[in-house]
Every structure is written in structure tokens, then in C-alpha cells.
Amino acid sequence: MNVAVLAGGVGGARFLRALTETADPAGVTAIVNVGDDLDIAGLHVAPDLDTVLYTLAGLSDEERGWGRAGETWNALDTLRELGGDGWFALGDRDLGLHLARTQALRVGEPLSAITARLAAAAGLELSLLPATDDRLRTWLETASGAFEFQEWFVRRRHADAVGGVRFEGADQAGPAPGVLAALDEADLIAIAPSNPYVSIWPILSVAPIRAAIENRRVPCVAVSPLIGGRAVKGPAAEMLDRLAGGTTPAHVASTYAGLIDVLVVDPADDPADAPVRTVVTPTLLDEPDARRRVAAAVLDVARGPVPA
């Protein structure tokens, strides 16, 4: 079965691990958020692509949710001692990946081609694609001003309540090679349990990607990122509360209006009033059996009735 997955953040990476443990990874294409990429200390960092790569390669720090296990921080310590820009923590092992990517970008290789090479070198069997090769940056509007994603998320510890999101570069951004083909050839389109506003909306801000999903001929299923109205990690619940008016499955579904046929929700959430069909199953992706159940629930949707 061919599955195209929109993903970002740690929820996206863990969902992709669940799916590739359950379905043939060769049929899975991950279309990943690049709105929280940043250029720092001369390097191009793509946190969501890297979280997927590290998680699927078994290299990730499970506790932290980002970066590599067994990491050391010597380069960062030196950078900070010398007065460099050290607010964004790049570990010694992680730095090797950013060096390889930045070097290749400098000589003109597109991000999608670099990502494919890095994913193959890490032994990944799925297709790992950035949503776009073009510059796309998520900005958060807050009462203290507008901030680029990592400024808001890491430097300001996502303490400023968000009044709105926008995606710089979206007007000019095209889908990366392979993205539209993956959506066109999919038997199922899935949206990972990622933050809708800062992980999935940046992908959907690339107009041809959104149009491809709106015009789909196959089911599209999203997995809610909330359990009992709370996020497993990160600011999704606070953002839904402020921007959608609540944290029920109906509010989650409203962020994907016109794009999804099914929402997978945890038994701790009340699916009443959800504007789409809901499938209720425990959604915590913490251990292998639980992961497999969530992936199976999603894959089952492809076997259900085709949407009108």
C-alpha cells in the first residue's frame, strides 16, 4: 500500500516509525515540514527532517525528543565560551549532519536531493521529502511582536501566546520533487499527530500540496495530536485553545476543514460534534504494541469506503 504522510515534530517522527513498523516502508513517503528550519552559526538546520531521520534510524534521544542519543556538547560549549550564537543547542554528533547538508546546499544541491542521500546513508527505507526545496519560514504573531519559529519556540520557550501564524515564502514555494507524485499515487493520505499550526499548516501553505489533498481521490486521515485535550509534548493544546477555541476532536478537525475524511482520536477525548468520522483508539505512541495499533487503525481507513 502507498501511504503519503504529512509530518512534523516529534509526533510526526514517532508516527512514521509506527507506520514503517507496520506497513512496507518502501510504500511510505514522508512529506515533512521545513517551516522551522533555521540558519545558525553558518549552518542550515532542518529540525523536523532530522528528527524523522534520527528516529527512524534508531539514533534519536527518546527522552529529549530531538537530537541524537549519546550526544556530547563540546563544540557548543566552545561556541558559547567564545561569545558565539549558542542559544540553539547543536550537539557534536548532530553537527556532522548540519555540516554535510550545508556544504551540499552551498554548491547548489537541492534540499530534497541532499535529504534523500542522507536518509539512504542512514539506512532509511521510506522516501523522506521536504515539503519544498524553496525557502519557507513559520512566523508566530504574539503580543510581544512577530518571531520566527525557533526564536519563539526555543529562545523564548514558546511562552508568548500566539495570536496567528504565517508562512514566509509560501507564495513562491513549490512542492519538492516527488511530493505531488507521492500524493497522486497514494492509496491513503495521512496527517501525523503533529501540531496542526506549526507542523502541518506550513506544508499546506504550499498551494499545490493543499490543492492535491483537497482534490484527492483517496481517503485522508489525521491522527489527533491531543490526548485528553493535552499535547504529549509542545504547545499544540494552548494554540488550539486560542486559535480554534478549544481542544476537543471537533476543534482539531476544524484545523483540517475540507482536507480530512477521518480523525483518529484517543478514548480520553470526546468525539461528539466532530465534523468528520472518528476512529477511537489509544493514540500514545510510546511502546511497540501501542504504535502498531495506531498504525493499523490508520491503514484500515484505506480499506473503508472511498470518500465522495
Interacting residues toward ligand FO1 by CB under 6 A: 8-9, 36, 45, 47-48, 50-51, 66-67, 88-90, 94, 150, 153-154
Nearer to ligand FO1, 66 or 167 (CB): 66
Nearer to ligand FO1, 11 or 271 (CB): 11
Nearer to ligand FO1, 15 or 66 (CB): 66
Nearer to ligand FO1, 153 or 201 (CB): 153
Contact residues for 76 (Cβ-Cβ < 8 A; gap 6+):
86, 89, 90, 91, 92
Nearer to ligand FO1, 154 or 181 (CB): 154
Give min distance, CB of 29 to ligand FO1, in A. 19
Q: Facing residues of 166 across strands?
A: 139
Give min distance, CB of 176 to ligand FO1, in A. 18
Give min distance, CB of 219 to ligand FO1, in A. 26
Please, are residues 195 and 230 in contact by the beta-carbon 8 Å criterion?
no
Give min distance, CB of 51 to ligand FO1, in A. 6
Give min distance, CB of 197 to ligand FO1, in A. 12
Contact residues for 204 (Cβ-Cβ < 8 A; gap 6+):
6, 210, 213, 259
Q: Which of 238, 240, 270 is nearest to 254 (CA)?
A: 240
Nearer to ligand FO1, 88 or 139 (CB): 88
Q: Which residue bears the cell 520533487? A: 177
* Residue 216 grid cell: 484527492
Give min distance, CB of 193 to ligand FO1, in A. 13
Give the C-alpha distances (Å, rounded to integers) separating 111 from 6, 18, 80, 203, 276. Answer: 17, 25, 29, 15, 35
**Buried b / exposed e across 130-156, counting CB within 10 Å, b at 16+?**
bbbbbebbbbbebeeeebbbbbbbbee
- The amino acid sitting at 131 is A
CA triple 269-264-220, angle to 5 deg: 145
